[in-house]
Structure 1
Amino acid sequence: MNIELTIYGQVYMAFAVLIGVLCYREGQSKSDSATSVGVIGFVLSIFQPFGLFYLLYLWIKSPLANQKMS
């Protein structure tokens, strides 16, 4: 049982880091502070549905007007 909990914890933490990185990447074009967007995404992904909802919100949100689209 200990091994199963350890593997579950590692997968859980990898998921949180992945969501945090994806939120950071999306936040670069859709926010003034990409670092805070990434941290918020990481913290919300500890409660998994909230992290996914936040990432979905970032994908739907339009980019900032003062940046050029490449």
Structure 2
Amino acid sequence: MNINATLIGEIILISIIVVGALSFYLGKRKTQTPKLATFIGVLLSLIPPLGLVYIAILVLKNDVSQEKIAVSD
């Protein structure tokens, strides 16, 4: 069986884009620091299963209330 390095690279690139976008969207709703959540998501998406686990953790996390965000600004 031949391993195609280009295919692996494309899978990782697509994973970075998808997990990065989802991390930012969920980071805005679930954390007070969406940029940090996005950065962590992009780093973990270099190994695609870790990116999926990170997205699952963000999905299960409770939303941050808007009152707490307004007070902290």
TM range (shorter): 0.7 to 0.9
Offset at residue 15 of structure 1 (A)? 1.2
Can you give the 5+ residue segments of structure 2 that lack an aligned partner in the other structure?
Answer: 68-73
> Is contact 2:12-2:45 (8 Å) kept?
no
Q: CA deviation at 1:11?
A: 2.5
RMSD: 1.9
Secondary structure at 1:15 match in 2 = helix
Does 2:45 correspond to 1:45? yes
Q: Which 4+ stretches in 1 moved above 6 angstroms?
A: none
Q: Which residue of structure 2 aligns with residue 8 of structure 1?
A: 8
Shift of 1:48: 1.6
Gaps of 5+ in 1: none
Conservation of the 8 A alpha-carbon contact between 2:12 and 2:47: no
Q: Percent identity?
A: 26
Q: Secondary structure at the match of 2:35?
A: helix
Tell me the TM-score normalised to structure 2 length: 0.77
Q: Deviations over 1:3-27 (max 9, x none)?
A: x322331222111221111011000
Contact 2:16 2:45 in 1 (8 A): yes
Q: What is the TM-score when the length of structure 1 is the normalising length?
A: 0.80
Q: How many residues align?
A: 66
